[in-house]
Structure 1
Amino acid sequence: MRALHPGLGPDFIKLWSATAIANLGDGVALVAGPLLIASLTPDPAAVAGAAFAQQVPWLLFALISGAWADRLDRRRLVVTVDLIRAAALGLLVVCVICSAVSIWLVYGVVFVLGTCETLADTASSAFVPALVPAERLPVANAWLGATFTVINQFAAKPLGGWLFVVAAAAPFGLQAAAFVVAAGLIHLLPAASPSPSPAPPASSPAASPPPASCDSTSPSSASESPASLPPASSSSASGSVGLRDRQSLRSEIVEGVRWLWAHRLLRTLAVAMACGNLVYCAAFATFVLYARDRLGLGSVGYGTLLTAFAVGGLLGSVLAPRLIRTVGAAVLLRAGLLVEVALHATLAATTTPVVAAVMIVVFGVHTMVWGTVAWTLRQRAVPSSLYGRVTGAYSLLDLGGAALGSLAGGALAQTFGLIPVFWGAAVAMGVVVVLTWRPLGRATVELREADPS
């Protein structure tokens, strides 16, 4: 096994194993969950409501979860929420077996799962930079991305459908067991308490606050340091555990938000992805209708088209480390936004399934490459003591945009039609490209500056 992870170490293998097992459970439930809800109600709004119930905790709790991830031992936090998720799923399994399940119970369980996810994902995202040398972060992130694609997107989905046919409770029982096993593996990792980071030296560029007029699109902010921090009055707490312990939860959250907003590149990435996820989820909320009415695909064709996302994601996870080394992060990020424009425009223009599938594969490559670059930049740039709060603020924009897009997509398609929504998404992403082009130019330099090797 170590040969598969050169230079990543045995602790990363434990983390990878836990991630793989959890992805299996999540992927199985991703298929079985809608099947269970559809067996309870034919109402499309009720079915969509379950997806929103799992997404909305990111809007409600992302910032709070980030603050707790910086206060607590992250390993113990992940283990605890994994066991809570297993218990919630166990309740669902018992109710399904006893024919006592209701749509409101499902809503409650998925809301608990989504809330726990905000804590687990925020805390566990700090494990990789703690376990892996900085120069190996792109490889580690790409490997985790490939694991998600292969297990969650390929292997787990047919297994989830088959298990639901065999016994409706079985896929949820498997997911509960997966969380228990994952918790056991995470428990074997070294303690992951956030460590305070010293303030940068006075001579360091990072010690200077960003210009007051700085924003993600302003040309005047081009001289901003890649690691710019808020003024000393808001960041000094990260250098003293005692002082930060006396801070209120609100002030700790504000500290993380201000750090993210003061870092021009990470702020740009977060805002770009918020916009990207908003328009993407709005356009793809009715993708099954698009595949049927625009491309003329049946159920099998629709399922085959969905696998194109996974094919692209797997290819992207293989290519990402090499592309980061040879092409550079700035080129990859800029090209990725152009791919998003091309995706929406192509789907709006074409009626040919093969053309749509090829474009989706290209988009899948982009999502994995972009994710690897963004993860690595955040892991290298953000101090350990602030990592949870900065990640929480980042996730609020990133996944909050997805939740709002999913909520709005159906209404937009009903009002304007399927194709105009894709055209609108293409135009919106074109605006994002123009506004973020210059700030993204710093990505290659910052990634190299943050690499101690």
Structure 2
Amino acid sequence: MVMRNRDFTLLWSGSAVSALGTSVSTVVYPLLIIAMTGSYAAAGVVGALATAANVLLQLPAGVVVDRFDRRRVMLVCDLGRAVALASVFVALLYGGFNLWHVAGVAFVEGALTVPHRLASHAAVRNVVSPEELTAAYGQNEMRDRAAMLMGTPLGPALLGLGSWVPFLGDALSKVVSAVMLLFIRKPFQAERVAPESAGRMLDDVREGAAWLFRQPFIRATVILVGGSNLLFQALQLAVIAKLKTADHSDSEVGLILAAAGIGGTIGALLAARVNAKLSLRSVVIGANWSWALLVPMTLLADDLWVLGCVLALIVFIGPIWNIGVDVYRLSLTPDGMQGRVSAAAILIEYGPIPLGLLLGGYLLDIIGVTWTIAVITAGMVLLALSATITPVINQQATRQEVSS
């Protein structure tokens, strides 16, 4: 059982506390800014800065994770985030709110979270046995989803105790994560040669991206994920618009979104078992067709509980896909390229998310909820057909595809 692995448990626990803190502050940033300034635009600017850091720094962060000791990278990121968050705590404690200070901290937290997450992801392969790898990533998926689920109500509750309380809590969560790292015995990477000159960072980025695109199965799956993530962002907006059009309250909207989060957490709990029973081909094709069938049901489901169950099923499938595909990719990727390859994959998979939000917003304004969900359904069917007819996906993905 992977949770009996001392080093993995320490890595998992520290990251769990840190992820909960990040989830809390993510919810609190817009609430604090709206309360202090009354401006939704200001809240949007801060959110955009945090998102921009996440997208823009993926590739250089991947190089850092592959060049330097991953434990030290995580320690620097934890302590850097703790200092930045503590500065907001001190400022708010003494009544010194400044919008650009908070915006800068949001950017710094987002920027340092990228290499921390990549280093943690890459380190898992070195602290668990190959037999424990799928279970380990299943635990990580469950941890991250549970942190998001818990952080959503916890953030506003802490904010109610004082504007500075959530930021103190998040800063302390980073300190706890850093302390946990100090007690892990196993190295976070295989032995490597001395790092190359920093002047070759662009070449390193290209090397990681080129390796990923030479693996046909991995290339196909990351493109499919990018497409589905774009559509799911538009779907979330469409579901919210459907509920608001039907005069449902904000609390009812929150309840429906929470149901989706619960579905994802349950999916993460069961993902390792499901992947052990199904071929990777079955997971990839089955997930896409399941989504293609479930998405139009969000339009047909008028009862809140039925809609919540449909969304929970949609999100339930995500962790099963993530763990199956991620473990396959991480098992094949050379240790010295883990950071760069993961960064390239994440950029392709999550880069389309802002476009999905824009697409959903414009479609809802122009053609309304019904036709927007119809367009999203058509997109999901197209992805499912692509997964079904792509030759490399139809081949059993068990052989090593590493190209020289």
TM-score (ref. length: structure 1): 0.82
Task: Give RMSD over aligned pairs.
Answer: 2.4
Please, which of 209, 221, 244 is the counterpart of residue 257 of structure 1?
209
For residues 189-242 of structure 1, the C-alpha deviation after alignment (integer angstroms, 9 at most, x for no partner) is 23324545xxxxxxxxxxxxxxxxxxxxxxxxxxxxxxxxxxxxxxxxxxxx46
Matches within 5 A, 1:333-352: 333-352=284-303
Is the CA contact (8 Å cut-off) linking 1:93 and 1:172 kept in structure 2? yes
The match for 2:345 is: 394
* Inter-CA distance 425–10: structure 2 relative to 1 (3 Å threshold): same
Q: Which amino acid aligns with 2:236?
A: F
Post-superposition shift, 1:424? 1.8
The match for 1:380 is: 331
1:125 and 1:23 mapped to 2: Cα distance? 13
The match for 1:425 is: 376
* Inter-CA distance 180–243: structure 2 relative to 1 (3 Å threshold): closer
Larger CA deviation: 170-179 vs 306-315: 306-315
Please, which of 302, 308, 319 is the counterpart of residue 270 of structure 2?
319
Matches within 5 A, 1:24-423: 24-153=20-149, 155-189=150-184, 190-193=186-189, 195-196=191-192, 241=193, 244-245=196-197, 248-285=200-237, 287-294=239-246, 296-423=247-374
Is the CA contact (8 Å cut-off) linking 1:8 and 1:140 kept in structure 2? no
Post-superposition shift, 1:14? 0.4
Give the aligned length.
399
Post-superposition shift, 1:246? 8.1
1:284 and 1:16 mapped to 2: Cα distance? 29
For residues 3-60 of structure 1, the C-alpha deviation after alignment (integer angstroms, 9 at most, x for no partner) is xx44751100101111221122122223322211221344444333332221112331
Is the CA contact (8 Å cut-off) linking 1:8 and 1:133 kept in structure 2? no
Q: Which amino acid aligns with 2:95?
A: S
Is the CA contact (8 Å cut-off) linking 1:96 and 1:169 kept in structure 2? yes
For residues 221-267 of structure 1, the C-alpha deviation after alignment (integer angstroms, 9 at most, x for no partner) is xxxxxxxxxxxxxxxxxxxx469558711111110000000111111
* Inter-CA distance 45–350: structure 2 relative to 1 (3 Å threshold): farther
* Inter-CA distance 88–342: structure 2 relative to 1 (3 Å threshold): farther
Unaligned runs of 5+ in 2: none
* Inter-CA distance 14–242: structure 2 relative to 1 (3 Å threshold): closer
Is the CA contact (8 Å cut-off) linking 1:7 and 1:136 kept in structure 2? no
Post-superposition shift, 1:405? 2.4
* Inter-CA distance 283–341: structure 2 relative to 1 (3 Å threshold): same
Q: Which amino acid aligns with 1:386?
A: M
Identity of aligned residues (%): 24
Larger CA deviation: 412-421 vs 376-385: 412-421
Unaligned runs of 5+ in 1: 197-240
Is the CA contact (8 Å cut-off) linking 1:83 and 1:183 kept in structure 2? yes
TM-score (ref. length: structure 2): 0.91
* Inter-CA distance 313–94: structure 2 relative to 1 (3 Å threshold): same
2:41 and 2:363 mapped to 1: Cα distance? 14
Post-superposition shift, 1:325? 1.6
Q: Which amino acid aligns with 2:111?
A: T
Match of 2:398, SS state, is helix
Post-superposition shift, 1:297? 2.3
Q: Which amino acid aligns with 2:157?
A: W
* Inter-CA distance 167–127: structure 2 relative to 1 (3 Å threshold): same
Q: Which amino acid aligns with 1:406?
A: L
2:359 and 2:106 mapped to 1: Cα distance? 20
Is the CA contact (8 Å cut-off) linking 2:126 and 2:187 kept in structure 1? no
Post-superposition shift, 1:407? 4.5
Is the CA contact (8 Å cut-off) linking 1:320 and 1:368 kept in structure 2? yes
Q: Which amino acid aligns with 1:259?
A: W
* Inter-CA distance 60–343: structure 2 relative to 1 (3 Å threshold): same
Larger CA deviation: 73-82 vs 433-442: 433-442
* Inter-CA distance 321–431: structure 2 relative to 1 (3 Å threshold): same
